[in-house]
């Protein structure tokens, strides 16, 4: 009787989960079914599309790498240290996820505009962040960095603290312990966070379009094709971008360490 109940539960959960998977797969399948091979080939061979995809991947990758430098140490502090305001900081980190991305773009624009402190500093260096790849990277990072911080924090929290204390008692420096014990043991979570941050950044539209319509990243190009030419011309670009994203992230998942 118990085995029958377990089997019924598994069938029920499988059915519910299958419906959710269908909800995810059906729109994507519909997109590819409505995209002709000719349209797909033309979009893939279009220099404008190629440049936008390359620009999108590069800016998101560089933004992820640069912002990982402060994000990973912050994640360690949040996982290891108890201090006043830690709960508030954890809440602040999640704000970019929950606010509308158009509002996120407005916030970033106010932060980097020419009359802001950051904008004036950039202007003194001959750089206008608005309408520049650097501004796009900042917008991407703003909405995606919570994924890295949260994943890395969970990874550091899962590392037994006694390993770090043992190394410190043996005379190792705190930085040596961090780079040789803490990070290697939390690396799977950190890598997952990096992949999620990279993916979220390259898919951002709402915040980026407020900072820089040009140079166009692919999400903005898809919107531009849709508004100017209609669904028929936006679908092939969307399909090409989705294929590249799928291939890229399958490769990253295959290369990432397997969890035991």
CATH number of the domain that 172 lies in? Answer: 1.10.3720.10
Is it the case that residue 207 has pLDDT exceeding 90?
yes
Asked, for residue 171, whether it belongs to a domain, the answer is yes
169 token code pair: 């008692």
- Contact status, residue 71 vs residue 258, Cβ threshold 8 Å: no
Is it the case that residue 159 has pLDDT exceeding 80?
yes
Asked, for residue 233, whether it belongs to a domain, the answer is no
Taking the CA atoms of the chain, what radius of gyration do you get in angstroms?
Answer: 22
Query: What does the pLDDT read at residue 259?
Result: 53
- Contact status, residue 206 vs residue 101, Cβ threshold 8 Å: yes
> 137-151 pLDDT, tens per residue?
999 999 999 999 999
CA-CA distance, 186 to 189, in Å (whole number)? 6
pLDDT grade for 10, boundaries at 50, 70 and 90: confident
Is it the case that residue 172 has pLDDT exceeding 70?
yes
CA-CA distance, 106 to 36, in Å (whole number)? 38
> 72-100 pLDDT, tens per residue?
999 999 999 888 888 899 999 999 999 99
Asked, for residue 224, whether it belongs to a domain, the answer is no
> 215-258 pLDDT, tens per residue?
999 999 999 999 999 988 999 999 999 999 888 888 877 766 56
CA-CA distance, 173 to 182, in Å (whole number)? 13
171: left (phi over 0), alpha (psi -120 to 50) or beta: left
Number of domains in the chain: 1
> 13-72 pLDDT, tens per residue?
889 999 999 998 998 899 888 888 889 999 999 999 999 999 999 999 999 999 999 999
Which residues form the domain of 109?
Answer: 51-212
Asked, for residue 146, whether it belongs to a domain, the answer is yes
Query: What does the pLDDT read at residue 212?
Result: 92
pLDDT grade for 5, boundaries at 50, 70 and 90: low
């Amino acid at each position: 009787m118990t085995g029958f109940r377990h089997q019924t539960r598994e069938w029920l959960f499988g059915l519910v989960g299958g419906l959710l998977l269908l909800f995810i797969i059906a729109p994507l399948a519909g997109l590819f079914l409505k995209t002709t091979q000719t349209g797909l080939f033309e979009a893939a061979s279009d220099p404008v599309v190629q440049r936008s995809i390359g620009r999108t991947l590069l800016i998101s990758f560089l933004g992820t790498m640069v912002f990982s430098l402060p994000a990973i140490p912050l994640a360690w502090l949040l996982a290891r240290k108890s201090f006043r305001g830690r709960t508030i900081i954890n809440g602040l980190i999640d704000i970019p996820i929950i606010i509308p991305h158009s509002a996120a773009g407005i916030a970033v624009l106010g932060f980097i505009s020419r009359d802001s402190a950051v904008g004036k500093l950039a202007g003194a260096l001959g750089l206008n962040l608005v309408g520049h790849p650097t501004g796009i990277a900042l917008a991407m990072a703003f909405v995606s960095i919570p994924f890295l911080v949260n994943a890395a924090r969970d990874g550091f929290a899962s590392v037994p603290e006694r390993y770090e204390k043992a190394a410190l008692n043996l005379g190792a420096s705190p930085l040596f312990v961090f780079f040789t014990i803490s990070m290697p043991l939390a690396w799977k979570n950190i890598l997952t966070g990096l992949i999620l941050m990279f993916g979220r950044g390259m898919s951002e539209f709402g915040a980026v379009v407020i900072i820089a319509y040009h140079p166009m990243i692919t999400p903005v190009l898809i919107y531009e094709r849709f508004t100017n030419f209609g669904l028929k011309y936006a679908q092939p670009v969307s399909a090409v971008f989705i294929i590249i994203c799928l291939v890229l992230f399958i490769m990253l998942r295959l290369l990432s360490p397997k969890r035991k």
